Amino acid sequence: MAGQRVKIEVDDQVTLTGEFSEGQKGAAVVLHPHPLYGGSMHNNVVDALARAAAGASMAVLKFNFRGVGGSSGQHDQGRGEQDDVLAATDWLARRAPAPLVLMGYSFGSLVGSAAAADLAGLAGGVWVSPPWVMGPLAPWPAGAGPLLVLAGGRDEYGDLAALEGYMSRLGALGRLEAFPEADHFWWGHESALIEKAQAFLTSVIALS
């Protein structure tokens, strides 16, 4: 899903390249998988999440983390990337209506969960295939809206049991949807991703 090309300044050394699509009912930032393994905003799952948000009439911003594509700077093992998330959400919040939702795939979900605590007014989140082999998700912040996690039953980098424990601690705020036939990369399951994510985003909008 292509949008208007934009640039987002993080600091005097890092400027991110992204794509922005307008919407009327909220705003979604989509975070891509690991840069050192070919991850960028041009990815099938990132595209599916962007389509889900657009289908819910939300404005959508996807971008390349520092050191990826046309974004300046260097990969920072998820630390500086949290600053990228905060800069991107601030950029979008100034151009699109609330509610604001954060969506991330794989590495993007880990970075997004770490950055979420610094985002005031976060209306919800969608994480796809959190790579538990790289470490657990950060706690979902108190005061944020609901969280949807989509995971594949054949995900070689995930841990469904650990995810179930994580989500159980969120109570009614958390919902885990498992796709038994999907692996980490979701090829052939993009339509199901879009359907689940779009329904969730529509419910977040209705709650806001």
Q: Write the pLDDT tens digit of every residue in 103-134.
A: 999 999 999 999 999 998 999 999 999 999 99
**Cβ neighbourhood burial of 13 (10 Å; 0-12, 13-18, 19+):** exposed
d(CA 123, CA 207): 9
Domain ranges of the chain: 4-207
Q: Give the pLDDT score at 3.
A: 83
Q: Give the pLDDT score at 111.
A: 98
Beta bridge partners of 8: 16
The CATH fold of domain 4-207: Rossmann fold (3.40.50)
| 120 in Cβ contact with 142 (< 8 Å) | no
| pLDDT band (50, 70, 90) for residue 1 | low
d(CA 106, CA 199): 21
